[in-house]
Structure 1
Amino acid sequence: MRDSKIRMLMPIFLLTFGLFFNIAIFQPVFDIGAMVMAGVMCVLIAYAHFVINKFFGNGDKFLVTFVSVLPVIGIAVLYRLNPSIAIKQVLWFIIGISAYISLVIVLPDLKRFMKFKYLYLVGTVVFMAMATFIGETRYGAKNWVDLGFISFQPSEFGKIFFVFYLASSLKDFKTLKSLIEPGIIVLVSIGFMVLQRDLGSAMIFAFIGIAMIFAATSKVKYLLASFGIGAVGAVLSYFIFPHIRRRVMIWRNPWEYAQNESYQIVQGLYAMASGGLFGSGLGHGAPQYIPVRESDYIFAVIVEELGMIFAFLILIIYFLMFYRNIRSALKATSTFTSLLAVGFSVMIAMQVIVIIGGVLNMIPLTGITLPLISYGGTSMLTVFFSLGIIQKISEEAAS
């Protein structure tokens, strides 16, 4: 058993030192800081694996591997772009992985939390509405709140309350009437995101709601009705809100606006095309031409310098993580915890689909982060919290 655990860690260690050594060796002077960063990452990952496997070995044994590999890739690329940002991201990684472990250790039976439905409802509405009234605009979306000592995206915390609310509200589904209240909350949440011009989050909230309603009811007619309502809402939003029409116009004709509105999209496409299958090599690309490269467009940097094959392997990891998460949902001991796992799984999966789809110009671009890879403390904490809950659900199912 011990040998198998070491075998699981060795590829992660090799990847970590390989990426950071590649960065260090191509500097004018060998970068010792890069190797120190690699050592710190390996210690943190080894500690997380030790705690989860030693004391909570009954649950999902692969999830902790996924939450180790993705941040390694993200922090290595961030270090290549801006070492100071990478150091900040390591601090967020420490906080996130600590929260992930703590949730598994500290939380009691998750079924105890199903009775706080209206607390989750209040939390959802407060965090969804917050940026609408006291937020500031960044990169075209009014989705940040700056309190002076800290700035954050309220919708990231709103996702947590949103999933908990829907799980506690839908666990006792009986008739169509029981869908009225959660349906209203879903529409209100999406409405606030549209008002804040945060179209990526609006799509994510919509798909979380649809997935959890279908998981709770198992009725195709409700699934089709949800998609129908969503389609009608999208069409109405297109005609009501000018910024949505602008996003669609840029998406359809990126080359026409390459020098202004779609500059980011076009530069990302150029970067990925120049990278090809195998990339130009970490540190040998030209990511300085890509706007918002540390967060929204880090996938384009990865493709340019590490290649499309490497990027495809990242997508496989995300797919495997989604598969393991849904597997935990199917094995959950209660409807409430099963719905939690579904909600958080879809939340992370849709975040990946929306941002990569936007970077590839397959859908209109929306400014959200690539989970566990892009720079962003709020996003990293939210994802680690979600995965910690799913790890806890897998532990309860196996015990």
Structure 2
Amino acid sequence: MLNLITEISKYLIICLAAFYTYECFAVFRKKYGDFERKKIYKRQMACVYLIHLDAFLVLFAATLNLEMIGMYLVQLIFFLSLHFGYTVVYKNSNRLVLNNMCMLLMAGFVILTRLNFDKAKKQFLIAVISAGITFFIPLIIRKARALRKFTWIYAGIGIALLGVVAIAGAVSYGAKISFTVAGITLQPSEFIKILYVFFIAGMFYESTEFSQVVKTTVMAALHVLILVVSKDLGGALIFFMVYLVMLYVATQRLLYFSGGLAAGAAAAAVSYKIFRHVRVRVVAWKNPLGVIDNEGYQICQSLFAIGTGGWFGMGLYQGVPGTIPVVEQDFVFSAIAEELGGLFALCLILICVSCVLMFFNIAMQMRDVYYKYVAVGLGTVYGFQVFLTLGGVTKFIPSTGVTLPFVSYGGSSLLSTFIIFAIIQGLYLKKEDEGEYHEKRQREYKAQTTKRKRKKTGFDRELEEF
């Protein structure tokens, strides 16, 4: 009976996820107006709730653990509160960004509950706290006028915190990436990358002259070098690519971008020579089966899991994702592909792509150049982090130890992603306000023009009569 329930469930989940993903891109069609888009957003959230219910029914049927019911109910209340709160307080908020946030969180909750119930409870608690902390960020971004004045403060805070981690941080898998305060482990680079985006946006907002580019490059390089010294090469890659993209968007000079890529390639070659754990990851990437007993074990297990799942997956509790080391964090995508199927995993990728497209779409429509740069930077942070994660677990690139935003286990990653999405919502609200203000000015101008024409016409008539 359990096998039948699992089989039916996985096909239903895939169908709902595919429909949700199709709607993610349907909203970009120009022919759809606000009314049609609102219907799409409602259908999307219906899919999220149905997938959530379906998955937890299987989780309960497989474990007969009553705590699963409690977990489902509190998560349902959380999603309803989050969605209702945003739609009521921020009536003009971007519904696609909100829906995708809920969808990715739901996928993460489901797979973490399957893998490790205790970690799933921790992740859910962190999600609730993060949602509460970041709920008013859109309002702050919408109303703030002085964010661009703290450019050098952003850089100072970022470099100071990265320096503290490089000196006194705890070593995890060969890299210094975190420290513990009052029993809470924090990974500062997850939050510094947001300050880093605001710093670069502020610098290029002031000027894009060569001298300004040099100053900005030096400060950006300092961030990256500290991360390299800490051996947090995944974080260093994200910081490096964010700077290159923002530099190109601000200056429109391909020479800067290509020169940066060349410098990055040279730095990667040097890192390979200097750091042993980089060489280990490259060896595991080049020929994982040749070193399956040591360096290649993790990536081999990841590939086996993805291959075993096929297009439709084994079903929840029917696979063995626990054989993948650190599966809840760096390799959670492999567990999803094994048990929920390659099609569902592909849908998750496309949902992440739709988030990036919406981030860049908001950036293109921003009238304020400073906030345009911020949106581009945050979109690059999110998109490149997703690329590094998925590339690592599928052997497309060497593993970098980067988490999948909203899905992987990790408090710092979860909170920082909430902050990024909240800032994007604030930028969207600001864009809407700019559009409404522009339309209002146009209406006033047209009204004044019409009034002048009427007065002129009346004067002409009087002149003719005379």
Q: TM-score, normalised by structure 1?
A: 0.95
Partner of residue 109, structure 2:
75
- Counterpart CA distance in 1 for 2:312 and 2:121 is 27
**Residues 109 and 120 in structure 2, CA contact (< 8 A), matched pair in contact too:** yes
> What residue number does 1:142 align with?
176
1:45 is displaced (CA, Å) by: 1.7
Measured after TM superposition, the shift of residue 194 of structure 1 is: 1.8
Q: Which moved more, 1:227-236 or 1:305-314?
A: 227-236
Do the aligned partners of 1:60 and 1:324 also contact (CA within 8 Å) in 2?
no
Task: Judge conservation of contact 2:105–2:407 (CA < 8 Å) in 1.
Answer: yes
SS of the aligned residue for 2:327 comes to coil
Could you say which residue in structure 2 is the equivalent of 1:151? 185
Q: Distance in 1 between matches of 2:330 and 2:339?
A: 16
1:137, 1:342 → 2: CA distance?
32
**Residue 283 (structure 1) aligned to one of 283, 293, 317:** 317
Is 1:214 the counterpart of 2:253 in the alignment?
no
Task: Give per-residue Cα distances to partners, 1:199-243, cap 9 Å, x unaligned.
Answer: 211111111111111111122222212212212222222233333
Q: Could you tell me which residue of structure 2 aligns to residue 14 of structure 1?
A: 50
What CA distance in whole angstroms lies between the structure 1 residues aligned with 2:202 and 2:293? Answer: 48
CA distance in 2, matches of 1:43, 1:22: 20
Report the alpha carbon displacement of residue 156 of structure 1 after superposing the two structures with TM. 1.0
Checking the alignment, whether the CA contact within 8 Å between 2:142 and 2:430 is kept in structure 1 is: no
CA contact (8 A) 2:41 2:95 kept: no
In the alignment, the residues of structure 2 paired with residue 8 and residue 98 of structure 1 have an alpha-carbon distance, to the nearest angstrom, of 23
Give, in angstroms, the shift of residue 302 of structure 1: 0.5
Q: Secondary structure at the match of 1:116?
A: helix
Range that drifts further, 374-383 or 145-154: 145-154
Question: 51-60 vs 81-90, which deviates more?
Answer: 51-60
Equivalent position of 1:293 in the other structure: 327
Q: How does 1:7-156 map to 2 (within 5 A)?
A: 7-27=43-63, 29=64, 31-156=65-190
Matched residue type, 2:69: M
CA distance in 2, matches of 1:270, 1:102: 43
What is the aligned-residue RMSD (CA, Å)?
A: 1.7
Superposed, 1:275-354 pairs within 5 Å as 275-354=309-388
Verify the 8 A CA contact 1:111 1:334 in the aligned structure 2. no
Distance apart, 1:107 and its partner CA: 4.4
Query: Cα gap change, 1:96/1:212 in structure 2, threshold over 3 Å: closer, same or farther?
Result: same
Equivalent AA in structure 2 for residue 385 of structure 1: I
Structure 2 residue corresponding to 1:161, chosen from 168, 184, 195: 195
Q: Which residue of 1 aligns with 2:413?
A: 379
Aligned pairs for 1:173-212 (under 5 A) are 173-212=207-246
TM-aligned CA deviation for residue 301 of structure 1: 0.5
What's the CA shift for 1:96?
A: 2.1
In structure 1, give the amino acid aligned to 2:52. Answer: T
Match of 1:363 in 2: 397
Counterpart AA for 2:50: L
C-alpha separation in 1, matches of 2:367 and 2:189 = 29
Residue identity over aligned pairs, in percent, reads: 30
Distance 1:8 1:190 in 2: 39
Whole-Å Cα distance in 2 between the matches of residues 36 and 193 of structure 1?
41
Q: Which moved more, 1:208-217 or 1:224-233?
A: 224-233
- Asked whether the equivalents of residues 142 and 429 of structure 2 are also in contact (C-alpha less than 8 Å), the reply is no
Q: Do the aligned partners of 2:56 and 2:72 also contact (CA within 8 Å) in 1? A: yes
Secondary structure (helix, strand or coil) at the match of 1:144 reads: strand
CA distance in 2, matches of 1:116, 1:247: 39
Give 1:114's aligned amino acid. R
* 2: CA distance, partners of 1:71 / 1:183: 35
**Cα separation, partners in 2 of 1:3 and 1:233, compared to 1, 3 Å:** closer
1:229-277, Cα deviation, whole Å (9 max, x unpaired): 2122222222333332332222112112211122111111111111111
Residues 1:349 and 1:159: Cα distance change in structure 2 (over 3 Å) = same
Instruction: Give yes or no for contact 2:141–2:427 (8 Å, CA) kept in 1.
Output: no
Question: d(CA) in 2 for partners of 1:252 and 1:3?
Answer: 47
Q: In the TM superposition, what whole-angstrom CA distance separates every residue of 1:300-337 from its partner, at most 9, and x where no partner exists?
A: 11111111111000001000011111111111231111
CA drift of 1:385 comes to 0.3
Larger radius of gyration: 2
C-alpha separation in 2, matches of 1:108 and 1:348:
21
Post-superposition shift, 1:4? Answer: 6.5
- Using the TM superposition, give the Cα deviation of residue 118 of structure 1 relative to its aligned residue in structure 2, in angstroms: 1.3
- Shift of the alpha carbon at 1:353? 0.5
Distance 2:375 2:318 in 1: 40
Query: What's the CA shift string for 1:11-38, capped at 9, x where partnerless?
Result: 11101111111111122x2x33223222
Amino acid in the other structure paired with 2:62 = F
Q: 1:288 to 1:174 in 2, by over 3 A?
A: closer
Judged with a 3 Å threshold, the aligned counterparts in structure 2 of structure 1 residues 58 and 324 are, in CA distance, closer, same or farther, namely: same
Question: Structure 2 counterpart of 1:232, which letter?
Answer: A
User: What are the Cα deviations for residues 124-166 of structure 1, in whole angstroms up to 9, with x where unaligned?
Assistant: 1012222210011112222121234211112112112111111
1:83-104 deviation per Cα after TM superposition (whole angstroms, max 9, x unaligned) = 1111111111112222332112
Query: Which amino acid in 1 is paired with 2:255?
Result: K
